[in-house]
Amino acid sequence: MLLSHNSYITLCEKIEGGYFMNTNPIKDSGDRTNFDSGAVRDLRVGKGRMDLVPLDIANFLINYAPTTPFRIERENHPVDYTLCNMDEFIYNGSDTAMVAAMYDMILHSDVFVDAYLETAKELEVEVDLDKVTARELVANAILVCSRHFENGTLKYGERNWEKGMPVHVYVDSGARHYVKMLAGFMDEPHHLAALWNMMCAQWTFQRRKDLNDLPCGKSSNEKAFK
């Protein structure tokens, strides 16, 4: 769309007057990361590592969630089928079953709503929960889970899980953390651990067929290795 002459003049005046600098400032924590190249940027420790998240799975999950308010989604889908969907993943290898499990867990768990409110508080953003969509809730869950990926690097190094583990390891751990979350245990962030394992299970299932040791994959894998 072309700007009129008057609109162009107004835009130039705003730029010269620092309007956009004042209304959209670059946030600065005061801490710096210095790179060998000489480049400098704001310190990212504690913000999460989105580059370590399986972004294809994250994209699928975000697009799976509708843009309707999550409370209406809860009313329309009052039953949490997380474990049923995980079971479908185990025995039938459905491409969408684990994604559906992640979505159901996020949609029906108040702990993810609390996480959304905590993010809004950190960003100093006012939130009307009646207007927060299911997709926004899912997107924030992924953002918060990126901190779990970051914490993993401190203990195991970067991309340790990508080296390969049997799919059942992730399913087992994901289901266990999910049930612990439902039981109300607060000894660790079980909601994030559950989501992390589910995402890694889906990624491994799609990219590492040789590691699919679930019932759905045994017959096809046995044929592949003959």
pLDDT tens per residue across all 226 residues of the chain: 455 555 555 555 555 555 544 554 555 555 556 666 656 655 566 788 999 999 999 999 999 999 999 999 999 999 999 999 999 999 999 989 999 999 999 999 999 999 999 999 999 999 999 999 999 999 999 999 999 999 988 889 899 999 999 999 999 999 999 999 999 999 999 999 999 999 999 999 999 999 999 999 865 443 332 2
Q: Give the integer Cα–Cα distance in Å for 144 and 46.
A: 10
Q: Give the integer Cα–Cα distance in Å for 211 and 1.
A: 52
Within the chain, what is the greatest distance between any pair of CA atoms? 74
Q: Give the integer Cα–Cα distance in Å for 169 and 59.
A: 23
Backbone angles phi, psi at 127, to 5 degrees: -125, 135
